[in-house]
Amino acid sequence: MVETVFARQWDRLMELSRLGAIPGDGVNRACLTELDAQARRLVIGWARDCGAEASVDAAGNLFLRRAGSDPDAAPVLTGSHLDSQPQGGRFDGAYGVVAGIEVLAALHDAGVVTRRSVEVVAWTNEEGGRFQPGCTGSMAWSGFRAANTWDDVRDGDGVRYGDALAALLDSEADLPRRALGGRAHAYIEAHIEQGPLLEAERLDVGVVTGIQGSRWFRVTVNGASAHAGTAPLSLRRDALQDAIRAISALNVAMADPDDVLRFTVGRMVVSPNSSNSVAGQVVFTIDLRHPDRDVLIARGDAVGGIIQGALLQCAAEIVETFHALPAAFDPAVVDCVERAASSCGLGHRRMPSGAFHDAQFVGSVAPAGMIFVPCRDGISHNPAEYSSAEQLGAGTRVLAAAVVELAEVG
Ligand code: HGY
Ligand code: MN
Ligand code: MN
């Protein structure tokens, strides 16, 4: 047991991390899996222990609501996500959900009734690891995309997103349903920084000002499988060689001497993926990010032409699967978070987010902001991801102060 402030928060995070535990203190808890369902049941139990009620919307977003005194007042939302990367860490996402429940528990234990209801949300599929893209739950909730947009997206085993979502909702038939969308007076998400800044500057809290833009693409290179021993190179339509040509050309085009642009090819599926068969098809992903809208649009719009110009033997289909422009958080919410950090006597600074979050989409329909806590060496999307109980507790103190202000105690 951890004998520190917020020991319960730490212990709950450790309990959650056992659902999908992988070597090196990591977590592999893909969205809409049995492990995800178990994690949802765990947080529902914790929320009910402090008087909150659970409900779920058609996108699978899980709401844990502590009613306020004014049922007509728009609620204050907080939360994050329970799904992880395949080689994820114990804190990315889970921290924001558990921290939100800590706020509910603190209000409950203190017998405090806020005017506005407070709702902790676990958004569906923030990571986009199993089903691309990420943030499908918050994009559906905010109306950024229609909720059925991704129904036919398939995971690596060919399972449809729509079917996996339906199965999860069936498993939660006991939970009350709520309409998709709705009002929020404000949304604040607590999250680990997933970068090195706060640790390097020995600060406790990041007052997040906004999120850079992200564009994802799925590239399918179609050639023809052939015998590695008999097919002359001059006659081949080698999808892997052409994919390499395309990625090499993209690397050149996406070079940024200021190292601000983020260009990643993180996933590649080769078929038939046999050492003595020429690749007939390659599917690879592109993750492109930049804080400047015009740069992101220009670089992203150039992707198709760069790929087509690099191919020698094959054809390629390029589909944009995610289009999230840079988002600035609401100044009043950012100020509220900053005030809360100051009132807690914590070292803090304003900073942007390099990672995307559900707040990017929630913020398109409600005033939103985020709270960052440091993580060791800035490591994330890696089992070595780590923030201490004290660092996480500090962030939760700020979250509680900000939520109480926004929800208007008394
Ligand atoms: O990829 C991201 O930025 C987020 O951590 N899912
Ligand atoms: Mn996250
Ligand atoms: Mn993540």
**At the top level of CATH, which class does the domain 2-212+326-407 belong to?**
alpha beta
Looking at 225-373, list the stretches that DSSP marks H as alpha helix, in order from N- to C-terminal side: 239-253, 293-301, 303-310, 331-343, 359-362
CA of 126 to the centre of ligand 2 (A): 7
Give this prediction's pTM: 0.96
CB 65 within 8 A of CB 75: yes
Intervals of the chain under pLDDT 70: 1-5, 410
**Rounded (10°) angle between helices 34-49 and 7-17:** 160
Best mutation site among 194, 216, 285, 290 for ligand 1, i.e. most ligand atoms within 8 A of its Cβ?
194
Pairing state between β 277-278 and 226-227: antiparallel
The Cα 97–Cα 86 span in angstroms is 19
Check for a shared fold between 2-212+326-407 and 213-323. no
Which pLDDT belongs to residue 60? 98
Q: Which residue has the tokens 């209801």?
A: 117
CA of 136 to the centre of ligand 1 (A): 12
CB 374 within 8 A of CB 391: yes
Q: Is the CB of 192 under 6 A from ligand 1?
A: no
Structure tokens at 208: 């997040």
CB 326 within 8 A of CB 296: yes
Q: Is the CB of 280 under 6 A from ligand 1?
A: no
Q: Which residues contact 111 (CB under 8 A, 6 or more apart)?
A: none
CA of 199 to the centre of ligand 1 (A): 19
CA of 172 to the centre of ligand 3 (A): 25
Q: Is the CB of 119 under 6 A from ligand 1?
A: no
Cα–Cα–Cα angle for 314, 318, 321, nearest 5°? 155
CA of 92 to the centre of ligand 3 (A): 6
Q: Is the CB of 54 under 6 A from ligand 1?
A: no
Residue spans of the domains in the chain: they are 2-212+326-407, 213-323
**Rounded (10°) angle between helices 389-407 and 7-17:** 110
Q: Which ligand is nearest to the CA of 381?
A: 3
DSSP 378: G
Q: Is the CB of 127 under 6 A from ligand 1?
A: yes
CA of 382 to the centre of ligand 2 (A): 12
* Number of residues that this document lists for the chain: 410
In this predicted model, what pLDDT tens digit does every residue of 183-196 receive, in sequence order?
999 999 999 999 99
DSSP, collapsed to helix, strand or coil, labels residue 187 as strand
Q: Is the CB of 31 under 6 A from ligand 1?
A: no
- Ligand 1 atom with the smallest distance to the CA of 135 is 6
Q: Is the CB of 358 under 6 A from ligand 1?
A: no
CA of 137 to the centre of ligand 2 (A): 13
Q: Whose CA is nearest to atom 5 of ligand 1?
A: 355
Prior bond of 272 cis (ω within 30°): yes
The strand pairing partners of 88, in sequence order, are: 27
Q: Which ligand is nearest to the CA of 214?
A: 1
Q: Is the CB of 356 under 6 A from ligand 1?
A: yes
CA of 386 to the centre of ligand 2 (A): 13
DSSP, collapsed to helix, strand or coil, labels residue 403 as helix
CATH topology assigned to domain 213-323 = Alpha-Beta Plaits (3.30.70)
CB atoms < 10 A from the CB of 248, how many?
11
Q: Is the CB of 134 under 6 A from ligand 1?
A: yes
